[in-house]
Homo-oligomer: A and B are copies of this chain.
């Protein structure tokens, strides 16, 4: 038994599903290149969005993924967590393909990111201002949406972000 190309044409239903997964994400799985080995490394990070709806995170500068992103900003972020019931492999998920961009406290956009992030992650108030935490925005290159078995789409940044 063989099947043909599983990628479907992108439609408004796929765009709405993908935007909903991104807007609802509070954490995700970040893939980076380990600078020591050149191999991929996946770790869990907090996920929020910028006021414009782009994915972002608050990361520790002591973490391996932050060191990796400073060496090579190419990364991928999986969002869309299965609930406690049902088959996790039929639950929709979104693989974002992105370039990481660090936003320091001196940047004009920092205050807006901080306020917006705290709305979705109020507990982060405990450490958001620590010197060894910083914001990273994920500038999108594209995304792969898996809406469940046999429902795969390749999305552009414009499919994910409001104009």
Contacts and interface: CB of A to CB of B under 8 A. Distances in A.
A46 B89 contact: yes
B43 A144 contact: yes
Instruction: Give how many copies assemble into the complex.
Output: 2
B44 A40 contact: no
Interface of A: 1-3, 5-6, 26-27, 29-34, 37-46, 62-64, 74-78, 80-84, 87-89, 93, 95, 97, 123, 130-132, 141, 144, 146
20 contacts: A27-B82, A29-B42, A31-B41, A31-B42, A32-B40, A34-B97, A37-B74, A37-B97, A38-B74, A39-B75, A39-B97, A40-B75, A42-B42, A42-B76, A42-B77, A42-B95, A44-B78, A45-B89, A81-B82, A83-B84
B44 A146 contact: yes
Contacts of A34: 97
A132 B3 contact: yes
A39 B40 CA distance: 9
Contacts of A87: 123
B46 A40 contact: no
Contacts of A76: 31, 39-42
Given A27-B88, A81-B81, A97 B41 contact: yes
Given A6-B62, A88-B26, A43 B131 contact: no
B29 A40 contact: no
A110 to B, nearest CB: 18
